[in-house]
Amino acid sequence: MLSAVMVVEGLLRAPDSEQHLDTGWRLYQALAKNSRLYLLSHEWTEQENALWLQKRHLTGHLAYLHATDPGPEGRLDALERIRSWHISLVLESDLACAAAEMEAGWDVGFFSHVFPGGRTWRGAGIGAWDEITGAIERRENTRLAKEKP
């Protein structure tokens, strides 16, 4: 069975807002029914998230993780605390965090949500995309080096 961590901000809820994101809401519903789902957030406390989720009938996840920092270090610290849970996939909405997570050995699914006006949240640009593609290439090179006889 798949074990997944879903980052709340930018995937399930619009950053700095109480607005839920429809695609993330549907993804949550599917994952909660068919996997072991955990949520990770840096903006709100566990109690604040629990109330927001309960109001939207999103109660199928198993646990909540709090990242003390919104950047890669905070995400990696939170994920490292649960490494023994054998997480199969981290669903991420921040390119820099996704690149750092891949570098640390996590399998990452990246989600980008376009808001009205055509902008993505946090304004992820080419530099951030280069980070993630670089992380993918380095990870693949490491894997191939280990497979050499």
* End-to-end CA, the chain: 32
Q: Which residues contact 67 (CB under 8 A, 6 or more apart)?
A: 40, 41, 42, 74, 75, 77, 78
The number of angstroms, rounded, from the C-alpha of 9 to the middle of its chain's C-alpha atoms is: 8
pLDDT at residue 15 greater than cutoff 50: yes
Q: How far apart are CA 65 and CA 51, in angstroms?
A: 15
The number of angstroms, rounded, from the C-alpha of 59 to the middle of its chain's C-alpha atoms is: 18
Instruction: Provide the mean pLDDT of the chain.
Output: 86
Domain span at residue 55 reads 3-147
pTM: 0.78
Model confidence over 55-95: pLDDT tens digits?
Answer: 999 999 999 999 999 899 999 999 999 999 999 999 999 98
Report the number of distinct structural domains present in the chain.
Answer: 1
What pLDDT does residue 36 have?
97
Q: Phi first, then psi: give them for residue 33, nearest 5 degrees.
A: -80, -30
The answer to whether the CB of 128 falls within 8 A of the CB of 95 is yes
What pLDDT does residue 116 have?
57
CATH number for the domain harbouring residue 119 = 3.40.50.1000
